[in-house]
Chains A and B, each alone.
Chain A
Amino acid sequence: MELRRPLSWRRNLIVGKNASGKSRTLSLILALARQLAGFDPPHLSGNYDVEFKWGDKIIYYQLKYEDGQVLQERFLIDDKLLLNRGKGGEGKILAEEIGKEIRFQTPTSELAAVARRDTIQHKFLEPLYSWGSSLRHYSFGIALGKGHLTILVKMEKNGEKIDELDPNAVVILYRRAVKELTDEFSQVLIRDMKQLNYDVEEVGVKTPVSIRVSGALGELVGLYVKEKDLPGITDQHSMSQGMFRALSLLVQINYSQMSGKSTCILIDDIGEGLDFDRSCRLIDLLREKAKTSNTQIVLSTNDRFVMNRVPLEEWSVIQRQGNHVRVLNYGNSRELFEEFKFTGLSNFSFLEMDFASGPPAEEAGGHE
């Protein structure tokens, strides 16, 4: 009898060689999320065929658009077609309270899954919106807000709405998190930083001490940490890139998790700029957070430390052939991954040896 064991949906690592399509893969997930949340209109071209698990049900969603115009959109739960829309924006949708399908027509520049949101008649659309609006995307290879002091202060002074999706808005997000979640937020942050081997005993927001800026329209503030073995604080400006990226990422992820908003977090180039030890610690921390919450994490990396830290069962190996990308994982290529495990090599060798293209041929013949 064949046994089935579930892979953890919460933890996923996308690996691949340079220019294989890792970042692009995360970007297309982000693009779908933003469209389903109503943040963005349909893009230039796209044809999505996606599946979600929603409790014990399966949601299928198909979306095709060209030149910013939706050509086709279908929504099914299990095998039941609940929304079907074609060219011209015309389609049919189940009206739950009325108990029958009704005709509709929405502009082709809008997704029906967004335009038809109605918690009385089409409540079934809500999970898509919930997924799209709560998804977060971070690029660990960028500054993640390290150089953003003045703009954030100005936004706050003007009382503008904070864009929680903007990874650069970390200072204001931190202030909001402490206000909403009290000191517990800072304590979790300190604990997490310690787990990454940053011996931090205090985190906060204040005027930087290592730079002076003249002519600012208001008080300049940034994040700082107080490390145990240093007499003074280390402000945002003087933190190392690696330390600030880790701090910024943890502020953003912890806020999402602790305020109960997160469902899916995409992190591109995880581990970039961190040493071996901290890279491994960060991976362990993120995997643990995903395991103990309702958060799904999808990471991408080129980093051998990260690859060696994450079990192959969580891998998705990107293989690009021309303009076509195929993804191999334990689910669709179990024998290949099992065969690799027998080699006893480190996980990174799977990529280095291009094992995804097939095991290397044994050397023919021998010495005479």
Chain B
Amino acid sequence: MIQLSKVKYTEFEGTPQEWSLEGLSLGEEISS
């Protein structure tokens, strides 16, 4: 069983169309 846990993404880097995403983590452990 494989599960997606973190995603960082950028497209059209360095151009006016640049778009980026950071910090998406799915089911990360948290402190309590």
Contact = CB atoms under 8 A, between A and B. Distances in A.
A331 interface: yes
Nearest to B20: A324
B26 A12 contact: yes
A7 interface: yes
Contact of B7 (A29, A54, A131, A323): A29
Nearest to A296: B3
B18 to A, nearest CB: 5
Contacts of B31: 2-4, 334
A334 B28 CA distance: 12
Contact of B21 (A7, A263, A327): A327
A206 B21 CA distance: 45
Contacts of B24: 25, 316, 327
Q: Most A CB atoms within 10 A — which of B10, B17, B30?
A: B30
A28 B6 CA distance: 13
Contact of B19 (A325, A326, A332): A325
Interface of A: 2-10, 12, 21, 24-25, 28-29, 44-55, 58-59, 127-128, 130-131, 263-264, 294, 296, 298, 313, 316, 323-332, 334
Interface of B: 1-13, 17-32
21 contacts: A5-B29, A5-B32, A25-B7, A25-B21, A28-B7, A45-B12, A46-B10, A48-B9, A52-B4, A55-B1, A59-B2, A127-B2, A263-B2, A263-B3, A294-B1, A316-B24, A327-B21, A327-B22, A330-B30, A331-B29, A331-B30
